[in-house]
A and B are shown apart, each in its own frame.
Chain A
């Protein structure tokens, strides 16, 4: 029996209204003020703020409700239970895996707890190109501050683990800045298992913060429930058809209908545009599902003389934006450097190889350091991202071709990471590429990387963050939703998640989603109730709320 108190079990015992899966039968119909699709970063913030405004809300989540007592820090459990498509989601041509959470808390339950304010150059670009004056750095500052206070986001003061130390040491030696990351944690045990669900409730994900607050204020959470279709009547949504599902996503009972005054779609990029596509919502400028971004990600592994044990300790502690900042945002693609947790399943799979190669990797595994380079897509005509398509069964798939522009970035990111790893003292380095070898020196690696063919598939490319597909913009010609999240064509529909980003952002997106959702949901609460709500203030008293 673990000493950790599970706040979700306690909440359920207090009488939270949670339905679906093992939590009791779903209703045949339900009426509320606002229904929120999803329970991740955008949905969680929205749920708390709208519940605080006294609104009767329902949250619809396709995944299961899992909590600290379920999180055993095991790869064998986590990918299958907590990620989209049982961990098997990939782009249409299978070239890039797509990691997204599918559980209460969404990706915030399984992310690596890196919290960055949106880079200023990204916000400036949004203002200049998409007319989003609400998103300027000054205008966003109070939203970041509010969210940071709510989720305990602050600089990580514990020493970085050995994997992150490689990045810091190598970068400093080359005169490259590698600052410390901010994290959304409280009493972190430094276990390194963030990606498998935090077993100590230290990570301030939506699962342990905003969703519990909303449930304590009387919200209804429906889990293992897929938002199947929004019903459109004139320019209004008249209902949301929901499909109960089993853990594997197959049907688990009759569909039912939720009616609400307002509908907030926050199922995350890919899923949110897919719901709107399935529903046949107006899309006059053919923008829905387009410009979906991934931060395509390349990796390089190094064998260090010292033990690294990259499975232990905060997976993200140090980063470098040097290669984002030293060139124009709309020139050759820039990349952010970070580290990845070195768990056996994840690392041995993503670093590629078989037979002899795997045997060698297994031997040096405890000394292995992994750096990753996240390509900043969306700022250049050759980096237009992917397009969400629907399969015959209505489920989405992202068609995201990998082109020469991205592959040029992959090569340059490999070069940067390899140079840093050798500068940090690596004995050998191998970029993740089917034709790469273990290189013994920076000179040898550089010559080899410059000669390697950079083509799809043989260049190992993953993806880090899914963004876009329902862009916000100041005009309907450029956006699916207005700057406040309101759909341009449908009156009572908003989108509050990472799908509203008009480009990728060049940073881990959770804090950007939180801040945008806080801005949008505060405005929505005001429009619907005339009330002012904040994440760092208590709810409007019940008596005032019932008078609404």
Chain B
């Protein structure tokens, strides 16, 4: 059984990059100094949202973009509540996944996150979720579960699931 933790990504990322012909020194952190998603990580999480919530986002382009922007802002807010060590691990993971070598090795995506199609990202996430490599399954869950919790906890999504919101207390 593969029991690798995200903690060990430091080592894993070195291996991945060596395979992919990159270098750790060239990686940019996935989270900015203020804890928010870097522009590249924001693209990544946007692509994940488009894939995971395909069919649940507004059909109209402007409304969809607004919902996505709100979702990404809420992700920032959630991540800001994580303890520093967890933010560090997430930053490292996002950094790796936004490098072309890391993205290809870990997700199999050939095009970058901004230009990958919804179908490609879905296929890639699906393959990761069933991978025999524990590390890929961990990454699938890290991306998918965080996105899902934030998306469905947001009141803007409640009508999608028929949830009326909490009962009011007079």
Give the interface of A toward B (CB within 8 A). 2-4, 72-76, 79-81, 85-88, 92-95, 189, 191, 193, 199-200, 247-250, 311-312, 343-346, 348-349, 354-356, 358-359, 361-362, 365-366, 391, 393, 395, 397, 399, 401-403, 434-435, 456-458
Q: Is the interface of A mostly helix, strand, loop or mixed?
A: loop
Contact A362 B78 (CB under 8 A): no
Given A79-B149, A365-B161, does the pair A356, B55 have CB atoms closer than 8 Å? Answer: yes
- The list of the 5 closest CB pairs from A to B, nearest first, reads A345-B153, A73-B166, A249-B83, A365-B161, A457-B137
Verify A355–B122 contact, CB threshold 8 A: yes
Is A93 in contact with B3, judged by CB distance below 8 angstroms?
yes
Determine the chain A residues whose CB is within 8 A of the CB of B169 once the complex forms. 2-4, 189, 191, 199-200
Interface string of B3-39 (1 = CB under 8 A from A): 1111100000000000000000000000000000000
Find out whether the CB atom of A457 lies under 8 angstroms from the CB atom of B141: yes
| B1 adjacent to chain A (CB < 8 Å) | yes
Contact between A344 and B81, CB atoms less than 8 A apart = no
**Closest Cβ neighbor of B50 among chain A residues:** A355
Q: Among A86, A366, A456, A458, which residue has its beta carbon within 8 angstroms of that of B81?
A: A86
Q: Which of B22-63 contact A (CB under 8 A)?
A: 51-56
Write the nearest CB–CB distance from A512 to chain B, whole angstroms.
29
Q: Are B5 and A348 in contact (CB under 8 A)?
A: no
The residue from B54, B82, B134, B151 contacting A88, defined by CB atoms under 8 A apart: B82
| A392 closest partner in B (C-beta) | B85
A456 and B134 form a contact (CB under 8 A):
yes
Interface centre among A93, A189, A200 (most CB of B within 10 A): A93
CB < 8 Å neighbour of B166 from A74, A93, A358, A403: A74
Question: Which chain B residues border A85 with CB–CB below 8 Å?
Answer: 82-83, 86
**B residues in contact with A365, CB < 8 Å:** 161-163
Smallest CB–CB gap between B108 and chain A, Å? Answer: 16
On whether the beta carbons of A348 and B148 are closer than 8 Å, the reply is yes
- The interface size bin for chain B is 35 or more
* Inter-chain contacts of B82 with A (CB < 8 A): 85-86, 88, 248
Assess whether B130 is in contact with A344, with CB atoms less than 8 Å apart. Answer: no
Q: How far is the CB of B163 from chain A (nearest CB, A)?
A: 5
Q: How far is the CB of B70 from chain A (nearest CB, A)?
A: 12
26 contacts between A and B (CB under 8 A): A79-B149, A85-B83, A86-B78, A86-B81, A88-B82, A94-B6, A95-B138, A189-B169, A191-B166, A191-B169, A193-B166, A311-B163, A312-B167, A343-B163, A344-B153, A345-B149, A348-B148, A349-B145, A355-B54, A356-B54, A358-B52, A358-B56, A362-B161, A365-B163, A401-B1, A457-B137
Chain A CB within 8 A of B144 CB:
yes
- CB within 8 Å for A94 and B148 given contacts A348-B161, A365-B162, A397-B5: no
Asked whether, in the complex, the Cβ of A354 is within 8 Å of the Cβ of B83, the reply is: no
Chain B: CB-nearest residue to A366: B162
Distance in angstroms from A424 CB to nearest chain B CB is: 21
Please give, as numbers and ranges, the residues of chain B lying within 8 Å of A359 by CB-CB distance.
54-56
Supposing A92-B3, A93-B5, A247-B81 touch, asked if A344 and B161 sit within 8 A by C-beta, the answer is: yes
User: How many Å from the CB of B56 to the closest CB on chain A?
Assistant: 6
Tell me if B125 counts as interface (CB < 8 A to partner A): yes
Query: Do B166 and A354 have beta carbons less than 8 Å apart?
Result: no
Binary A-proximity of B141-155 (CB < 8 A = 1, otherwise 0)? 110111011111111
Q: How far is the CA of A189 from the CA of B167 in the complex (A)?
A: 10
A344 to chain B: closest residue by CB = B152
Q: A2-B169, A458-B129 are in contact. Are A358 and B55 (CB under 8 A)?
A: yes
Complex interface: chain B residues within 8 A of A312 (CB)? 167
Given the complex of chains A and B, what is the CA–CA distance between A3 and B169 in angstroms?
Answer: 7
Task: List residues of chain A with CB within 8 A of the CB of B158.
Answer: 344
Distance (whole angstroms) from the CB of B2 to the closest CB of chain A = 8
> Within the complex, what minimum Cβ distance (angstroms) separates B11 from chain A?
14
Query: B157: CB under 8 A from chain A?
Result: yes
Bitwise interface map of B from 98 to 111 toward A, beta carbon under 8 Å scored 1, else 0: 00000000000000
Q: In whole angstroms, what is the CA distance A249 to B84 when docked?
A: 7
> What would 16 more interface pairs be, CB under 8 Å, given A344-B161, A391-B85?
A73-B167, A74-B166, A75-B149, A87-B81, A92-B3, A191-B167, A248-B80, A344-B153, A345-B153, A354-B125, A355-B55, A355-B122, A359-B56, A434-B129, A435-B130, A456-B134
A356 to B126, CA, bound (A): 12
